[in-house]
């Protein structure tokens, strides 16, 4: 089924928005988000590995041809370093590792080089925004006192380690190792990492902590950096398990109805709200269970299962059986959005991502059932003649569509659905880690270097 869904999403993108970033399935035209500046083709690059994994060979070839002929980074464009890294660098790296086609390696390294000027700050903590022609960077004007964002500068590590690996140029890995160093030197309030860090002063901005937006994938990349290093990156490991400990103490709570949730921490006060983005953490906890101190393994799996259940409830308690952007545990409600501007669903993957991890790690059939419920809801409410669209209010009787088919729907949501219903030996966890946009990157095995030696 996810293959049919992918075909529908891809065919319509191809028909109405080919070469542009995303598809508007109602207007039947291209959609360009300013996150990618003038760089084009986000959906193509994001979808490459999904097409490959689903064995959609013709489509993969046409995508490859587009990349060869048209993907161009010599443009005057201000881009989001984070978004371009996770979608374009990540997408190209996966396409290279899966297919072995040199063009993807070349383009990934070329783009990586374009991103390097973002690190030209007094601390080496990169800017959020970068003009890839002039090399001038800056931060989001709304971010606390000129800060960079934890989930942005903390979500470069996996891709940059691979860029060094593939180019032979150590500079990429050095840049991300330096971010680690800066973070390790800083005092952390209650052991927590604030979402904002000033790249000039090297000091934290506002003490807001989140495992959802602005924080999320920083934690994910600590764990995955350790896994991707074949469990040699001890520093990443320690930072991850210490952070989880602090998160458990200060952010994780249980509602009176028995639902475990992860709240937001604002200078010591809790906001009892959980974002759809935060739902990825169920999968993360379960994935990290194996490396936890032996008496804690079961506990981390359990935590993952509880978050999965809570996020499933956030879907189940809506009219459309699709989850809202954020849901609350206060004012007498549990796992329900109370504010109008938090009731939308934009084809996000995090809940299905967690089902996929929980399925692989426990084989409890309920995760496939929950995934199936999501498929049915997507088909009923988001599928249109012209592709898939997000929904403005998942509690409403009638769909109001936002007219955007997000590129992460093809790279993540549909890929995680496909994996949820595949055998465990498709991209097995011992050999692959998924970047935060669901692009698989190979584990760099300790003996890889020797292997070639041995073969000689
Ligand atoms: C994706 O780009 C990535 O999963 C990112 O980590 C968070 N936001 C979207 C999906 O919701």
Q: Does 83 participate in catalysis according to the annotation?
A: yes
Mean pLDDT of the chain, nearest integer: 97
Q: Does 325 participate in catalysis according to the annotation?
A: yes
Residue located nearest, by CA, to atom 10 of ligand 1 = 348
Does residue 228 surpass a pLDDT of 80? yes
Q: Which residues of 62-98 are buried (b: 16+ CB within 10 A; e: fewer)?
A: ebbebbeeebebeeebbbbbbbbbbbbbbbbbbbbbb
Q: How many CB atoms lie within 10 A of CB 455?
A: 6
Q: Is the pTM of this model over 0.85?
A: yes
User: Does the domain spanning 1-442 belong to CATH 3.40.50.12280?
Assistant: no
Residue located nearest, by CA, to atom 3 of ligand 1 = 437
Q: What letter does residue 120 receive in the DSSP assignment?
A: -
Q: Is the CB of 381 under 6 A from ligand 1?
A: no
Q: Is the CB of 435 under 6 A from ligand 1?
A: no
Q: For residue 225, what pLDDT is reported?
A: 99
What is the tens place of the pLDDT at every residue in 404-417?
999 999 999 999 99
Q: What is the β-pairing status of strands 432-434 and 387-388?
A: unpaired
Under the banding of pLDDT at 50, 70 and 90, the label for residue 38 is: confident
Mean pLDDT of the region 66-86: 97
Q: For residue 33, what pLDDT is reported?
A: 84
Q: Is the CB of 224 under 6 A from ligand 1?
A: no
Instruction: Write down the domain spans for the chain.
Output: 1-442
Q: For residue 34, what pLDDT is reported?
A: 85
- In the chain, % helix, strand, coil (3-state, to 5) comes to 55, 10, 35
Q: For residue 449, what pLDDT is reported?
A: 57
Which of 306, 313, 334, 350 is labelled catalytic? 350
Q: For residue 456, what pLDDT is reported?
A: 29
User: What is the rounded CA–CA span in Å between residue 202 and residue 207?
Assistant: 14
Does residue 146 surpass a pLDDT of 60? yes
What is the tens place of the pLDDT at every residue in 148-158?
999 999 999 99
Which of 78, 159, 216, 220 is labelled catalytic? 216
Q: What letter does residue 298 receive in the DSSP assignment?
A: H
SS3 of residue 103 by DSSP: helix
Name residue, tokens 């990429």.
172
Does residue 451 surpass a pLDDT of 80? no
User: What is the rounded CA–CA span in Å between residue 71 and residue 51?
Assistant: 18
Q: Does 110 participate in catalysis according to the annotation?
A: no
Atom of ligand 1 nearest to the CA of 353: 4
Rounded-to-10 torsion of CA 246, 285, 164, 81: -70
Pick 52 or 455 by higher pLDDT.
52
Which of 46, 159, 313, 325 is labelled catalytic? 325
Q: Is 297 annotated as contributing to ligand binding?
A: no
């Amino acid at each position: 089924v996810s293959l049919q869904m992918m075909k529908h999403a891809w065919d319509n993108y191809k028909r109405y928005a080919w070469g542009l970033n995303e598809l508007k399935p109602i207007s039947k035209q291209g959609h360009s988000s300013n996150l990618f500046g003038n760089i084009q083709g986000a959906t193509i690059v994001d979808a490459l590995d999904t097409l490959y994994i689903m064995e959609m060979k013709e489509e993969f070839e046409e995508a490859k041809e587009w990349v060869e002929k048209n993907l161009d980074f010599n443009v005057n464009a201000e881009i989001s370093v984070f978004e371009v890294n996770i979608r374009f660098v990540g997408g190209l790296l996966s396409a290279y590792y899966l297919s072995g086609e040199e063009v993807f390696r070349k383009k990934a390294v070329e783009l990586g080089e374009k991103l390097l000027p973002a690190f030209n700050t007094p601390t080496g903590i990169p800017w959020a925004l970068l003009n890839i022609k002039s090399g001038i960077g800056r931060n989001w004007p709304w971010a606390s006192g000129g800060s960079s964002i934890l989930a942005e500068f903390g979500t470069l590590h996996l891709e940059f380690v691979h860029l060094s690996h593939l180019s032979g140029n150590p500079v990429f890995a050095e840049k991300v190792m330096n971010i680690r160093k800066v973070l390790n030197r800083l005092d952390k309030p209650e052991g927590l990492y604030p979402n904002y860090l000033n790249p000039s002063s090297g000091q934290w901005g506002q003490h807001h902590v989140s495992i959802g937006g602005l924080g999320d994938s920083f934690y994910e990349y600590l764990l995955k950096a350790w896994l991707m290093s074949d469990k040699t990156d001890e520093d990443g490991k320690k930072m991850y398990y210490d952070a989880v400990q602090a998160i458990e103490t200060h952010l994780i709570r249980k509602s009176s109805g028995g639902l475990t949730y992860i709240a937001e921490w604002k200078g010591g006060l809790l906001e009892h709200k959980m974002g759809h983005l935060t739902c990825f953490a169920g999968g993360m906890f379960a994935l990290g269970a194996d490396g936890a101190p032996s008496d804690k393994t079961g506990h981390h799996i359990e935590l993952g299962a509880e978050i999965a259940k809570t996020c499933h409830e956030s879907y189940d308690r809506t009219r459309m059986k699709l989850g809202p952007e954020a849901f609350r545990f206060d004012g007498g409600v549990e796992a329900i959005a109370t504010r109008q501007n938090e009731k939308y669903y934009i084809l996000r993957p995090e809940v299905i991502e967690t089902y996929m991890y929980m399925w692989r790690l426990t084989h409890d059939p309920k995760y496939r059932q929950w995934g199936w419920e999501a498929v049915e809801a997507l088909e009923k409410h988001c599928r249109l003649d012209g592709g898939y669209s997000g929904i403005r209010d998942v509690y409403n009787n009638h769909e109001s569509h936002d007219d955007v088919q997000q590129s992460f729907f093809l790279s993540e949501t549909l890929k995680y659905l496909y994996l949820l219903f595949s055998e465990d030996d498709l991209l097995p966890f011992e050999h692959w880690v998924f970047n935060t946009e669901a692009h698989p990157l190979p584990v760099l095995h300790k003996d890889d270097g020797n292997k070639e030696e041995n073969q000689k």
